[in-house]
Amino acid sequence: MQTDLLQEARRQAEICNACRYCEGYCSVFPALHAERAFSDGDLTQLANLCHNCRGCYYACQYTAPHEFDLNLPQALANVRQDSWEDLAFPRAAGKAFQKNGMLIAVATVIGFALLFWAARMLGAQGAEGFYAVLSHNAMVAIFLPAFLFPLVSIGISLRRYWQRVDAGPFRGAHLVKAIKQAANMRNLKGGHGDGCNFEDEDRFSHARRMAHQAVMYGFLLCFASTSVATVMHYALDMPAPYGLFSLPKLLGLSGGLLLVLGCVEMIRLKLRADRALGAQGAFGGEVAFVGLLGFVGLSGLALYGLGQTAAMPLLLAVHLGAVLAFFLLTPFTKMAHGFYRLAALVVDAQR
């Protein structure tokens, strides 16, 4: 990791530890105040525990023009971003996406879409719907490795994280507590439950928390839709296509809508927020990830709406290209931050 980023975060953490004005703001400050000195692992843990709500910055009396020049949200964001790049597997891919996220996301989607468009000959004769364009077996052969790769990659990254922060033995009770906190986005509620100051220093808002929840639950509903369809196909001998009121369609449509709405709101909030309080140079990569995730949901909804028209083969190629790009890039995009944050919450529960 970059020594200068860690040194600056350490300087600011030591000042905050002496002040203690923000003790009740979020999980970061009780964890910070529990230490008397900060190792590189301690700073990595604090950085991933921080949700960048920015309330501490606007409440701080030591921000510029004070000589201490505190900007703890940015200092922790820089360490956090650097930790994601350094812990990624493989590391080179993580660093490449953070530097050229938008270009890589767009190029990957277009490239995979063209490959799927060229592979229309793999459609199954006599099949209905999407399988007439690309057979079920071909989809499984392509997407199963693409689904397993990010799981292996993120698993290795989390193991590296656990070692870096010198976490103790893993216990299920701590994971349950962390999942509960992540499910309701407790650390985006603000110290007094009024929300965070992400949009405007004088305005408390739950908009960012609700946008995150829409994206998270939208993604989980889409994943549940695919899982249910898999069970129906293999265990119940009920292959697609499915009707509007079938469980896969109901889960997928509701999840897709939440995903698109949440991503649009997150981009709106990012455009309104002060970039000086976030990680330096990370804005493009963050927007690329949110845009890619939102496009997956939007192309899926478009495919459902126009699935019975002549545009279906092209839309299917674009949607599958976006989904494949999303899965393969997941370990290197901000999507991975959810896993790191959950790991940080587990470590904090142990504390």
Position 171 scores a pLDDT of: 83
Same domain, 331 and 226: yes
Q: For 144-155, what is each residue's pLDDT tens digit?
A: 888 899 999 999
Label residue 123 by pLDDT band (50, 70, 90).
low
222 membership: H or E segment, kind and range: helix 207-234
Query: Helix-strand-coil percent breakdown of the chain, rounded to 5?
Result: 70, 0, 25
Same domain for 212 and 66?
Answer: no
Range of the domain at 285: 93-350
The verdict on 242 and 299 lying in the same domain is yes
* 111 and 225 part of one domain: yes
245 and 190 belong to one structural domain: yes
Q: What is the pLDDT of residues 159-185, one digit of tens each?
A: 999 999 998 888 888 889 999 988 888
pLDDT at 329: 92
Determine the average pLDDT of the residues in 109-115. Answer: 91
**Rg for the chain (alpha carbons), in Å?**
22
Query: Which residue, 58, 84, 110, sits at the end of a domain?
Result: 84
Comparing 351 with 41, the larger pLDDT belongs to 41
- 112 and 256 in a single domain? The answer is yes
- Residue 239: which pLDDT band, with cuts at 50, 70 and 90? confident
Alpha carbon distance 28, 16 (integer Å) = 11
pLDDT over threshold 60, residue 124: no
User: Do residue 17 and residue 110 come from a single domain?
Assistant: no
69 and 172 housed in the same domain:
no
Residue 206 phi/psi, 5-degree rounding, is -100, 10
The whole-number average pLDDT for the span 62-68 is 95
pLDDT at 330 over 70: yes
pTM of the model: 0.88
Looking at 29-43, 44-58, 108-122, 210-224, which range is the least confident one?
108-122
* Confidence band for 126, pLDDT divided at 50, 70 and 90: low
Domain total in the chain: 2
Residues 108, 41 share a domain: no
CA distance 25 to 72: 13
Q: What is the pLDDT of residues 78-97, one digit of tens each?
A: 999 999 999 999 988 887 88
pLDDT exceeds 80 at position 127: no
Question: Do 119 and 206 share a domain, yes or no?
Answer: yes
Whether residue 114 sits in one domain with residue 242: yes
DSSP per residue over 255-303, as a string?
A: HHHHHHHHHHHHHHHHHHS-GGGS-TT-HHHHHHHHHHHHHHHHHHHHH
pLDDT average, residue stretch 72-78:
96
Task: Say if residue 134 is in the same domain as residue 12.
Answer: no
pLDDT of 130 > 80? The answer is: no
- How far apart are alpha carbons 155 and 57 in whole angstroms? 33
For residue 118, the domain's CATH number is 1.20.950
* Percent of the chain predicted with pLDDT > 90: 54
Give the confidence band of 66 by pLDDT, cuts at 50, 70, 90. very high
Is the pLDDT at 281 greater than 90? The verdict is no
Cis (ω within 30 of 0) for the bond into 90? yes
